[in-house]
Amino acid sequence: MGDLPILWSFRRCPYAMRARLAIQSSGQQVALQEILLKDKPDAFRAASAKATVPVLQDGAQVIDESRDVMLWALERSDPEGWLDMADEGCALIDRCDGPFKTALDHTKYAVRFPDLDEEAEREKAMVFLRDLNDRLTDAPFLMGRSRTMADMAILPFVRQFANTDRAWFDAQGLGPLTRWLDDFLNADRFRAIMVKYPPWQPGQDQVVFP
């Protein structure tokens, strides 16, 4: 099998989820090393000064941005054509990673931001979600009839937002968006990337993913 690239990951992190989704789709195997964010191993901290997941080590190359990890995998193999999308798809990911993620954090972790209005922050997130819902009204995926990187980069964050209060989310009348999310959550590919592994320890047997 040789020396596999190493993927440092944390199961529930949406950034790490999108990285695992792209690696899974590409078929590129990696050595998956799960960490606990509250107890980061020294080898992980040495790999990247950012010390945030995901981090991919491919020989001397270190990639510590989740979108770059997705591209690293898909540029090697893209059997589902995730990279076949217009620039608009990249713009959607930018909005997800920028204003939407900021509003999501202000909502999910509202206690950390006592100076902000939680309802106002949630409404900022909803602006993006309504735009996604409109896109999904006449097509099964964000860029049309086919799944692309935009869908798979954004879905983990929509999941995170929905999970802050799923009953409230379901009551917002976002039918197409909710179906898109639930189709993802019920898919084998999602279950496969969410398998639980014990935290990595030096000297342990290699976990090959996928």
pTM of the complete model beyond 0.85: yes
Q: Is-contact 70 22, C-beta < 8 A?
A: yes
Strands 208-209 and 30-34: antiparallel
- Pairwise CA distance, residues 143 & 149, whole Å: 9
| DSSP, residue by residue, 90-113 | HHHHHHIIIIIHHHHHHHHTGGG-
- Pairwise CA distance, residues 28 & 20, whole Å: 10
> What letter does residue 199 receive in the DSSP assignment?
P
Higher local confidence (pLDDT), 89 or 49: 89
User: By percentage, how much of the chain surpasses pLDDT 70?
Assistant: 99
- Pairwise CA distance, residues 126 & 101, whole Å: 11
User: Which has the closest alpha carbon to 108: 155, 53, 165?
Assistant: 165
Q: Where are the domains of the chain?
A: 6-80+191-209, 87-189
- pLDDT tens figures, 7-43: 999 999 999 999 999 999 999 999 999 999 888 999 9
Is the confidence at residue 49, as pLDDT, over 90? no
* DSSP element (H, E) containing 30: strand 30-34
Phi, psi angle pair for 31, to nearest 5°: -90, 110
Amino acid, res. 207: V
- Cα distance between the two ends of the chain: 14
User: At 36, is the secondary structure helix, strand, or coil?
Assistant: strand
Architecture of domain 87-189: Up-down Bundle (1.20)
Q: What is the largest CA-CA distance in the chain?
A: 53
Per-residue tokens: 77: 């193999």
Burial category of 83 from C-beta neighbours within 10 Å (exposed 0-12, middle 13-18, buried 19 and up): middle
Is the confidence at residue 1, as pLDDT, over 80? no
* DSSP element (H, E) containing 7: strand 6-9
Architecture of domain 6-80+191-209: 3-Layer(aba) Sandwich (3.40)
Cα 47 from chain centre = 21
pLDDT at 2: 55
- pLDDT tens figures, 140-162: 999 999 999 999 999 999 999 99
- pLDDT tens figures, 170-187: 999 999 999 999 999 999
